[in-house]
A and B are shown apart, each in its own frame.
Chain A
């Protein structure tokens, strides 16, 4: 049994998150944040033009960035560093699609709070343990690595009562990835329909949220939101395991502090 001492060799490698913050994350692209103004309008304009997914809109009260479209290419940060910066805060999930826009739209706060309260009332029964069914609806394949990483010793989501299940009939949470490929819309919908109530749906990754770079096409639906009723929207291209974990916790109301439910990142 020479493997046994090896299993003990490293001591505890599991993250303290969500009980305590994890030090990992700095220098890692989780999101783009908009810095407080004033901004150079021409540089912001250049950044908006260069954005490959039209995630940036420059309005009267300054630029807004839709993280649900952002593929984290960093072009805006290079072109207008006084307006945009890469942010390591991975708790980027929102309980409404418009909550992914930073800085937050003034009218979205109340709506987001209401959506969060309604969601958490509905899924109260899932707080002690949640069973997850992942469905790839046309991903690029990378996000599956990040989902699978949740069961490695570093993230070890079993410690939090989060389990992956093969049968959708045993599942509480549908974790959908990918752009909504034409061939997967039916299987995705069927998976959702046979899940028992209460159930909750996460669109994981920018492809699932808004289509990302693939977008809408003859065989791509520009996200999964038209096919299943999404409760939690998680940006990222692909989202990191920490991002995925925080989205699951947000979905069942277990994110420390109740979860903002809206993207932060309006600047320091």
Chain B
């Protein structure tokens, strides 16, 4: 943890260099956020370095309208600076496009300033249609969304096309902005965990683990080993469910009716298994600050049998799917993200790993009980297309089953049992970052607390980070590839819009 630096515009001017220097020395830029404090607004860059996520911060003094942009040095900062502009009105000076991202406010509407604790009125939005960006013969605009054709989360993709190619795509994510960050204010750690589960509902476990990790770091407690193992089991089941979901959507798009039906059946059985373990099909209520609420609700013998059966069924159908040419043809060469771009931007999760990146928080920055378990290693898939991302997900499903078995084995050895959680106390205070590897990729929570109450919580889902790359994934692709590219990103808009 870096100590907050003293105020002063000169120090603020050096901030982009300080962050970029650490990236130059091998850190990965994870995100940028703002946190109101007594001496001004803290600008906090989160960096992945050996052993954990660390911060580099500077103070924007009150009355100062902005800060120097990081985007000149760090491509990945683009969306973060737009978000800060939306939420706080602070301008990233030198940023090339500060169009609203999560909150397009009407003139005169006040900024929410999450973390300030101030009362807020309902905002007024200005959601005028975007003017066309391209001119040319026969170029027209297709607005996909916000109410989309099918059961989707609300988001708008504005495609401009001369007919087939997609030379321009703009993404508008603000439709379902719920003001989650401000909602955390004043909650205690237990309620905060429940809200973290709802920040990105399909990755409830990962979000709760990341949030609780920050609280546990503040409280200076270690989660008991059995609780860490239970977290692993639920988090890996969540990973399999999400990777199946992405594959199901690929199968549907490719007209693979039997694969679609069978994989949907496996996903349903998996969600039912999760409900048997904890009462919730999404693993909600499992993670509490300091540990878990209880052990696995199924005897180990039954759990092994259920896991074996699921893995056999899923593996067999995925093997067949990956030998079906009419499926592979739709993914091969589709939605290519080149490795150098993924590296510069810091692409996360299966998106990054399908473009030659290797970072995985479970291995690089172990949390829960991941440090005590053996991880299966797979051949890299650096091709960068939707097929590479599909292969990564299939490998990760195998790896997840492997981790679950080990975690259950180890739970049997150590005997589990109460207490499933250690007390984090009700006077926790300070600033910390917690993280987890969600199915979508790294999620982190920046948390500040004062006397047991949350003052500033910034969740950053992998969905937010990765969706910033979506518009560049169409170099050689046409309209009919859209569904595949979207499914191959495998993101949840709830985690993007905040």
Contacts and interface: CB of A to CB of B under 8 A. Distances in A.
Contact of A52 (B191, B256, B264, B268): B191
Nearest to A6: B258
A28 interface: yes
A253 B134 CA distance: 51
Interface in A213-268: 213-215, 217-220, 237-238, 240
B275 A141 contact: no
B198 A214 contact: yes
Contacts of B174: 183
Nearest to B103: A219
A6 B177 contact: no
B423 interface: no
A72 B259 contact: no
A261 to B, nearest CB: 26
A181 B177 contact: yes
A95 interface: no
Contact of B154 (A7, A135, A212): A135
A164 B148 CA distance: 12
A173 to B, nearest CB: 13
Q: Which of A10, A144, A183, A214 has the most CB of B within 10 A?
A: A183
A137 interface: yes
B2 interface: no
A72 B268 CA distance: 21
Contacts of A187: 146-147, 154, 175
A178 B195 CA distance: 14
Interface stretch (B5-13, B404-412, B488-496): B488-496
A203 to B, nearest CB: 16
A168 B147 CA distance: 10
B280 A141 contact: no
B276 interface: yes
A36 interface: no
Nearest to B321: A3
B334 interface: no
B427 interface: no
B147 A154 contact: no
Contacts of A135: 147, 154
Contacts of A148: 151
Interface residues of A, number: 61
Interface string A151-185: 11110000000001010100000000011011110
Contacts of B177: 138, 181-183, 219
Contacts of A24: 272
B149 A139 contact: no
Contacts of A16: none
A214 B201 contact: no
Contacts of A29: 275, 279-280
A149 interface: yes
A141 B492 contact: yes
B176 A136 contact: yes
A183 B125 contact: yes
A46 interface: no
A71 interface: yes
A178 B147 contact: no
Contact of A182 (B122, B245, B267, B280): B122
Interface centre among A3, A134, A149 (most CB of B within 10 A): A3
B65 interface: no
Among A146, A164, A181: residue with most chain B CB under 10 A: A181
Nearest to A178: B176
Given A52-B194, A153-B261, A154-B265, A139 B279 contact: no
A188 to B, nearest CB: 8
A220 B178 CA distance: 5
Interface in B349-363: none
A236 B15 CA distance: 46
B275 A217 contact: no
B40 to A, nearest CB: 22
Interface stretch (B66-74, B179-187, B378-386): B179-187
Interface string B99-122: 000010000000010000000111
B200 interface: yes
B448 interface: no
A182 B285 CA distance: 28
A62 to B, nearest CB: 25
Contacts of B257: 7
A183 B155 CA distance: 10
Given A141-B493, A144-B152, A6 B317 contact: yes
Nearest to B317: A6
A196 B265 CA distance: 34
Contacts of A139: 153, 176, 201, 494
A140 B200 CA distance: 5
Contacts of B146: 183-184, 187
A27 interface: yes
B194 A181 contact: no
Contacts of B272: 24, 28
Contact of B151 (A147, A213, A219): A147
B78 interface: no
Nearest to B203: A141
A222 B469 CA distance: 32
Contact of B180 (A10, A86, A144, A214): A214
B258 A237 contact: no
Contact of A218 (B122, B150, B202, B493): B122
A15 B274 CA distance: 19
22 contacts: A4-B258, A27-B275, A27-B279, A72-B280, A73-B194, A138-B154, A140-B200, A141-B200, A144-B152, A149-B264, A149-B267, A153-B265, A166-B150, A178-B154, A182-B177, A184-B176, A214-B195, A214-B198, A215-B183, A219-B122, A219-B123, A219-B179
